[in-house]
Structures are given as structure tokens and as C-alpha cells.
Structure 1
Amino acid sequence: MSMSSRFMVIFSRLPFRLGAPAPGPESMKRGLPPYPAPGGLPATSLRVDFVRPIGYKKASTGLEEATFHGIEVEALSKKNRGRPSLDSSLSYQVRRNGSIDSPRASSRKDAMNIIHRGFRALAAGLLLSMLVPACGAAQSAEPALSLKETIEFALKANLQIKRSGEDINAAQANRSSNMTNFLPTFGTSYNAIHRNEERTSPSLLSGRDIVTSPEDQYTFTTSFTQPIFAGFGIINQYKISELGLDRAETSAKITRQDVILDAKNAYFSVLKNQKLLEVSQQTVTSISSQKEVSENFYKVGLSPLNDLLQSQVQLANARQQLTAAQNNLEIAKTQFNTVLRRPVNTPVSLLQELDYTSYTETLDACLATAQKNRLEIQVADMDIEIAQKQVKLTEKDYFPTVNLTGAYARTGDDWQAHGGEGISDSAGWSVQATATWNFWEWGRTGYNRKEKLARLAQSKYKKSEVQDAISLQVKQAWLRTKEAETNIVTIEKAVEQAKENLRITEEQYKEQVATQTDVLIAQTLLTQTETNYYNALFDFKIAQAVLFRAIGQETLE
């Protein structure tokens, strides 16, 4: 640290706007803060300003003063031909808002302590400036997720997609089951009969008793049944199961598209609330600095009390909005983690998506694309086909059922059924065709058919409802996309205008040309404009994602 009668260098970490000119003595005379804090960014600077305190008369004291924030500074005498004299110095306590306490006498030892404190502050500031980036790098070690990665993680973890996969497995099993109805059925049976005594009867030729039924009788039978005609019931049932499999696969694709949309909504909601939180933080910082300026002006009588009260009320409102923005961001992160099926408190780091591409498709083109691509319409068509097949399935009872059956039987008086005494035919086989027809059931078949026809009509009405709903969804999504896109173009210019308006108003207030109310209005205008811009930007991205879903277009980015 070097000192002379003209300057003294002291380290300080202060909020100031980058590139802003250093205030001169004249501004300090009027009680303005040495740094234009509103809207500024924290930075580290080595700064020296020589000003005169308010109400200070150089001729009476012969001293010049150095003013800094938050550090005691030395007022050095100009005796001994301009060489600094620590024996005859005055110490000033300068607050962060720029106000100066009354001077107090200081000894050489006190002055040296002040210098040592300055060195310690400098060392601590340098150490802090090196540690903060290191801590930030450690916290950002987890890679940020892109939109594509978010969608892929959501698709892998989503339970609805897993349930859809099980629906497909069930439909495949049902189809395979109905396939077996075309094939013959094989069966076997084994019977054992024990009688209280064997049955005999006299022989017509010899007159002796012969065994007609042994005391123990065993029968082994093997049979098959092959459907020949079932009134087209088997083929219709199989076609219904095939349609059910197609429907399950299409429904799984619909679920996939819904998950993609949910992932996009969660992703852009987090980014949107992050930007709104930044706006709220900047607003609180700017209004806090403006409140300090108002306090300084009020203390020296340059502004009335109501200006200070206005800034305090505005700051309280800004802090309330900041709290709401913080909570909204946490809720958005929780929803994001829920979509990815991660613990709700998992840190969320996302790549910024601040660019946008204008959407050029017309509404008619989107409507045509939706009617062609929407899977919900395909599902509705499948439901109609299933209902038609079910009508034909009920008509099977109008026809007889024809089956071909065959059997091989073996009978005996031992457990191996190898014949024996009293067994006239120990083994044999037979084939027969059987036709069965219930020709009168009191209108049961007709009533069942009427029920299925009513279900068919419902399916057709449902398809019309789906088409109307899709057209409505497409138009709403298209209009919202165009609205958000128009707002982006409009507000993008307004943000720069609001920033410049705030800067000019702040400068005018420092020169006492504008009032405190003007500054607060300008700050509110900037906050609202930035909020509208980020709302429009991410509303456009969300609306475009909804539009892609509405027209049945699957995109991962």
C-alpha cells in the first residue's frame, strides 16, 4: 500500500456497473453514491476517490479526504511540504451507502492499524476471488442435460410406457391363444370300475356261465376334436385379437408421444422459471441500491421522506416476488425430477435453450397433417373394425357347428387294460362328425346382435369426436405458437428500450431532474418487460411442443 498527500490505495469489493465512469468530487458533494449500484454486478476493484465531505471547509482544517466503502480511511494532512504525516491524521468511517461519520482523532498507531487492516482485506478479497470460481466449478461438475437427453431419460424411466409394453404382451398372448382354435384338440382319459362281483350269464351254446363284466375293469381312451365349421366364429375371434394387438401397439406409440411432451414441458418450465428468478434477483439488487441512494438523499435533505418510503415498499414487494420465483423454480424442478422418476430433491442442471426458429407452417397444413398422422384416429378406426367383427361374431349362432372327433380305446381287467375274461372288445378306434345347431333360443342371438350394432354406432361417433377434438387442439396450439412468436419479436426490442430508459432515469435522478417515483416506474417497467420476454420465449417453445404433439409429429429436440 502506498500513501501520499494526494492519494491512498485501498482494496474493496463493491457492486458497480461495468464500464461506468468513476464519480467525481462534485457528485460526492451532492451526497450521491460513489458507484452506480442499481443494476450493477459484484466486482472487485481498486479505487481511489478524493472528495470533500459535506459541510467541510478545506481552509479551516487543511486536510484532504479519501472516501471508500465499508473501510476506515485516513485524512492526511498537507504539512511538511505535502509529505504524509500519520501523527496528525483524522479517521473517517465511510458507510456502504456513501455516508460519512464525523472525523475522530487518530494516532500514528491507529493509522498503522488501519493500513494493516487494509492489507488483510486485500488478501482476503484476493483469496475469496480465487475460491469462489473453484467452488462454482465443483458444483457444476454434474453435466447439464440437453433436451434430447431429458426425453431419452424420461422414455426409459416412464411407468406408462412400461405398462404399454405389458399391454402389448397381453395382446400377443391373446392372439396366440385364438390361433389355437384352428387346431385340433387332443385328450386322454383313464377309467377304473370295481364291482361287488363279476357279472355272468349262461352261454346259449354250452350252457355254462360266462363272465360278461369283470369285477375290476380298466379303460384307457385317447381322443381328438377338430373344428370344421363354427359359423365363422373362430376366424372372427382371431381377427379381433389381431386388431387388439395392433391397437395396443398404437396406444404404446401414443403414450410415447405423451411422455415426450411431458418431458419438453418440464424442461422448458425449469428454464423459464430460472430466467424469471434471475429477473427477480436483479430487480431486488437494483431496488436495494436505489433505496440506499434515497436514504442518502433524505439524510442530506435532498429528497422528501415519501421517496424513501416508496423505495422501501417497492423493495419489500420485489423481495416477495423473489420468494415466489424461488418457490416456482423449486416446483418446476420437482416436476422435472418426477417426469424422469428421480428423487424430488435431485439437483437439476439444464443446457440453456434461448434460441428459437420461426414456425412457418400454415393452419390448413397443420390440420391436414394431423388428420393424416394422429394415432388417435387410427385407434378409433381400429375400434370400429373391432366392433364390426364383434357383430359378425354374434351371428355365428345362426349357423350349425360341425366338429370332427376321433377316439382310440383299450379295455381290460388289469390296470394295463390289456383285455381279459369278460372283455369282448379290448381295443378299438372310431371317427365321427358331429353337427350341432340350436335353431330356437327365443331371440337371444338377435338381441346380442343389436347390442353389438349399438356398440358399433358408438365407435363411429367416437371417431368423429376424436377428429373434432384434434382439429381444436391443432388450432389452439397453432394460435398460441404464433402468438408467442409475435410477442418475442415485439418484446425483444422493448427489453433494450426498457434498460436504456432505466439507465437514463437513474442518471436524471442523480442530477435531481427525475423523481424517485420515476426511477421505480422505470425499474418496474424493465422487470415487467423482461418477464414478458422470457414468458413469451418459453411459451413459444412449449406451445410448439404441444403443436407437434397435436399434429402427430414426434421430435426429440
Structure 2
Amino acid sequence: MSRKKAFVKPAVLLATSLLVFNTAIPFSAASELSLDDSIALALENNPSIKMAIADKEKAVWGIKENEAGKMPNLSLSNSNNRASGAGAASSSDNFSTSLRASWPLYTGGRTEGLIDQAKYNANIATVGVVKAKEQVKLDTTTAYFSVLQNNKLVKVNQQTVDNLSEHLKNVQAQFQVGTIAKSDVLRSEVELANAQQNLTKAQNAYDVSIATFNNIIGLPLDSQNTMKDDLAFASYDMSLEDSIQMAKEKRPEIMQSQDTINAAKAGIKVADSGKLPTVSASGTQGWSGSKFPGDNSNWTVGVSASWNIFDAGVTNAKIKEAQANMDKVSHTDQQTRTAVELEVRQAYLSMKEAEARIETSKVAVDKASEDLKASQAKYYAGVGTNLDVIDAQVALTQAETNATQALYDYNVNKAKLQKAIGAGIE
């Protein structure tokens, strides 16, 4: 009997150890992520950046495509015919082979204009990669702070539930000894139930923010990571005027807008080329005869020019179309610059407004916490009311929620402002 007990004990210890080890595995899989770590993951995994890079590569190949218009072309053609007449003893073959080279010498500026357009479009696509990265940085930062905010709100609501649960115990104890009315118990139970519902909502918001964050940085949606950073206040030192000036110099949208204007100017050049002559050189080497590639050899070399004297107004219409497009992109450029300035102003003013709320919300939390303690002390001493305690708890929860919201709004609007002025662009 003793031997059996001696055997069972080590087995239980071994099984317990394995259980502890296995349950520790999921926790070890989770990792701490700083905001910089999260941004690095997003820049590596986010599909919008990969799509922008693909657009850039496509635009670069567009330059090569149009540059080929200035280079010579070489083509080879061959035909083979077999003929047989009525009563002929045999059929005959006829081979014809030609090798032709052509070289556009002058296109009226059309080729050069298309190359310029392709280069400006490549610049736009290159800046588009930067623009995509900046948007991903902002989305990641916002999602990161959203996780921190919702985690804080879960704690606030959990503390509210704990406080109201403890208060309900005290209320029930006083009701048992007959010092308070049943209504105090019922009201306390209702407030606790409401607080528990708010906690459930806060937990759900936290879970959703985690999934959203994981989606942005390219992790499985159910990944659980610990956020290394916290919602904190760090001052922004630039003035509004300096911020606007920096945005005008560094915003990708303004760079893209200028390249769009340049591409439209090149489009006018392309359209104008229809009024000018074109010149090309060509050479042909041919073979023909009854045997492949041909018994007889011949060649030609020449220069040709063409000038479209009348095209029923097609060229003029293309020029007018290109000029109208130039007017459109000029107006769009002004609209873009105004929108950038407005975005900077909105983010800056919203950040400053949140900064002011941070200070007032701290004071409100301190006062609400003191009021709750005082209300609880009075009620338990029999000189206060249950409603005073409940109101004080509601006020404290609201004050802590407002403080969390103010910190979140400040950090998010600061991130929006940094994106709006192009602060992250190298």
C-alpha cells in the first residue's frame, strides 16, 4: 500500500508539471509591442504599401516603354507560296523573306512628351509609396492608442463594478439590521447591474480594438499582445504657422500635385506634336526565290517624312483637351494645398483642445475621488444618503472616462498633425 502511494505521488507531480508547462505556452507566445515595433510590423506586412510599391514598379516600366519609342525597331517577315497549274508536271515554291529596320528620327516632340509624362507619373507613384507608409503609420498609431484607451476603460469600469459590489454588501448589511429602507438595496442593485453592462461593453470594445490593431499590423486577428507604451502626454513644440509651412514643403499630396501639373504640361506638348512633321529612317534587306530564304537578294535604304496637313480638327481638339486638363489640375492643385492647410489646422486645434482637457480632467478625477470617499463615510455613519454615494460613483467613473478620452484625443490628434505636416517623411 505504501509503495502504491509512493508511486502515485511522483506521477501526480509529473502530470501537474506538464499541465503548468502546457498552460504557460500560450502566454509565452504573446509578446510586448511598443508603438515603434507595431509600426515596423505594419510597414512590413500591410498590403496597401505593397500595392503602392507595385504601382511604382509599373510606372517605372512605363518610362522604359516610352523611351523605346526613340530606339530603332527590327522586324523579320517570311512568306511561302506553292503554285501548281492545270496540266503542270510539278508544282513550284516561291519564298519571300525580308529583314526591315526603322528608326524614328523626329516625332514633333511626341515621344519626348510621352517620356516626360511617364517620368512624372513615376514620381507620383514613388511619392505614393511614401504617402501609403505615412497613412499606415497613422492607422497603426491610432489603433495602438485605441487599444490602450479601451484597456484603460475596462479597468475604470471594473473598478466601478468592484466599488458598487462592495457598496451593495454594506447596504444589504445595514438593511438586515433595519437601519435603511429596501429601496436603498434595490437602487444599489440596479446601479451594479448597469455598471456590469458597461463593463461588458468596454470589454467588447477592447476586444474589437485588438482585432483591428492586429489587422493593421498583419498579425492573426486573435493575437494577444501586451502594449509596452502607455497613454501619456508629450508636448508638441511647433507653432501652427510653422506646422503649416512644413506641410507645404513636405506633404506627399503637394509633391504629387506639382508632378501632375508637370505631366499635364507634357500632355500639351504631346498634343501639339500632331501639327508637326515626323521623320524616320528605314532599311530593308530582302530575299526571294524558289529556295528558302530566297535565291535573289535586294536591299533598300531611305529616309521618309510625313506631315498631316489636314485632319478635320482632330489635332486641335486634342490640344484644347490637353489645355482643359491643365486648367483642371491647376485648380486641383490649389484645392489640395488648401485641404492640406485645413487638415493641419484641424489636427492642431483639436490637439490643443484635448491638451486643455487633460489638465481639467485630472482635477475632476481628484475631486470626484474625494467626493466618493466622503459620501461613503457619511452614508455608513448614517448621516448621508445612498443616492449621494451612487451619484459620487457615477461622477468618478465619468471623470476617469473623460481623463482617458482626453489623453487618447491628444495623442491621436498629435499623430494626425505629424502626418499632416509630413514629419515622418525622410
Which blocks of at least 5 consecutive residues in structure 1 are unaligned? 1-130, 198-213, 419-425
Q: Could you tell me how far apart the structure 1 residues matched to 2:293 and 2:268 are?
A: 51
Q: Distance in 2 between matches of 1:330 and 1:215?
A: 84
**In 2, Cα distance between equivalents of 1:311 and 1:244:** 67
Q: CA shift at 1:442, angstroms?
A: 1.2
| Residues 1:353 and 2:226 are matched in the alignment | no
Over 3 Å counting, the alpha-carbon distance change for 1:316 and 1:140 in structure 2 is farther
Partner of 2:61: 173
Return the alpha-carbon distance in structure 1 between the equivalents of residues 118 and 64 of structure 2: 9
Match of 1:13 in 2: none
Instruction: Name the TM-score, length of structure 2 as normaliser.
Output: 0.90
1:271 aligns with 2:170: no
Asked whether the equivalents of residues 407 and 431 of structure 1 are also in contact (C-alpha less than 8 Å), the reply is: yes
Q: Does 1:497 align with 2:385?
A: no
- Whether the 8 Å contact between 2:96 and 2:289 is mirrored in structure 1 is yes
Using the alignment, how far apart are the partners of 1:550 and 1:397 within structure 2?
A: 42
Name the structure 1 match of 2:306: 436
Match of 1:145 in 2: 33
Count residues in correspondence: 403
Asked if structure 1 preserves the Cα contact closer than 8 Å seen for 2:38 and 2:140, the reply is: yes
Moved more, 373-382 or 359-368: 359-368
**Equivalent-residue separation in structure 2 for 1:166 and 1:356 (angstroms):** 38
Instruction: Indicate which of 182, 192, 196 corresponds to 1:305.
Output: 182
**Would you say the 8 A contact 1:236–1:389 is kept in 2?**
yes
Residue number in structure 1 paired with 2:15: none
Tell me how far apart the structure 1 counterparts of residues 419 and 41 of structure 2 sit (CA, whole Å).
19
The structure that has the greater radius of gyration is 1
Deviations 1:438-472 (A, max 9, x none): 21111111111111111111111111111111111
SS in structure 1 of the partner of residue 38 of structure 2: helix
Counterpart of 1:553 in structure 2 is 423
Deviations 1:519-541 (A, max 9, x none): 11111111111111111111111
Any idea what SS the aligned residue of 2:226 has?
coil
Q: Comparing 494-503 with 282-291, which one deviates more in the overlay?
A: 494-503
Aligned with 2:200 (options 307, 323, 341):
323
User: 2:113 is matched with which residue?
Assistant: 236
CA deviations over 1:247-267 (Å, ceiling 9, x no partner):
111111101111111101110
Q: Using the aligned pairs only, state the percent identity.
A: 31
**Aligned partners of 2:69 and 2:294: how far apart in 1?**
32
Amino acid at match of 1:184: P
Structure 2 residue aligned with 1:34: none
Report the CA distance shift for 1:475/1:219 in structure 2 as closer, same or farther (over 3 A): same
Matched ranges for 1:397-436 at <5 A: 397-418=274-295, 426-436=296-306
The separation in 1 between residues aligned to 2:380 and 2:58, in whole angstroms, is: 76
Are positions 1:253 and 2:123 aligned together?
A: no
Give the secondary structure class of the aligned counterpart of 2:354.
helix
Q: Secondary structure at the match of 1:274?
A: helix
Q: Within 2, Cα distance between the matches of 1:357 and 1:416?
A: 81
Q: Name the CA shift for 1:321/1:416 in 2 (closer, same or farther; >3 Å).
A: closer
In structure 2, the residue matched to 1:488 is 358
| Structure 1 counterpart of 2:139 | 262
How far the C-alpha of 1:195 sits from its partner, in A, is 4.1
Say which structure, 1 or 2, has more relative contact order (CA 8 Å, 6+ apart): 2
Distance 1:371 1:416, change over 3 A: closer
Is the partner of 1:231 in helix, strand or coil? coil
**SS of 1:188 mapped into structure 2:** strand
Partner amino acid for 1:528?
Answer: Q
For normalisation by structure 1, the TM-score amounts to 0.69
From the superposition, tell whether residues 141 and 193 of structure 1 become closer, same or farther in structure 2 (CA, over 3 Å): closer
The answer (yes or no) to whether the contact 2:30–2:224 under 8 Å persists in 1 is no
Q: Which structure shows the bigger proportion of residues in helix conformation?
A: 2
Q: List aligned pairs for 1:190-229, cutoff 5 A.
A: 190-196=78-84, 215-229=92-106
- Equivalent residues of 1:548, 1:555 under 8 A apart: no
The equivalent of 1:295 in structure 2 is 172
Cα separation, 2, equivalents of 1:485 and 1:147 = 21
Counterpart amino acid of residue 384 in structure 1 = I
SS at match of 1:414: coil
Supply the AA of the counterpart residue of 1:300.
V
SS where residue 226 of structure 1 aligns? strand
Call closer, same or farther: CA 1:218–1:555 in 2, change over 3 Å. closer
Q: Is this contact kept in 1: 2:254–2:336, CA < 8 A? A: yes
Q: Which amino acid aligns with 2:60?
A: Q
Pairwise CA RMSD: 2.3
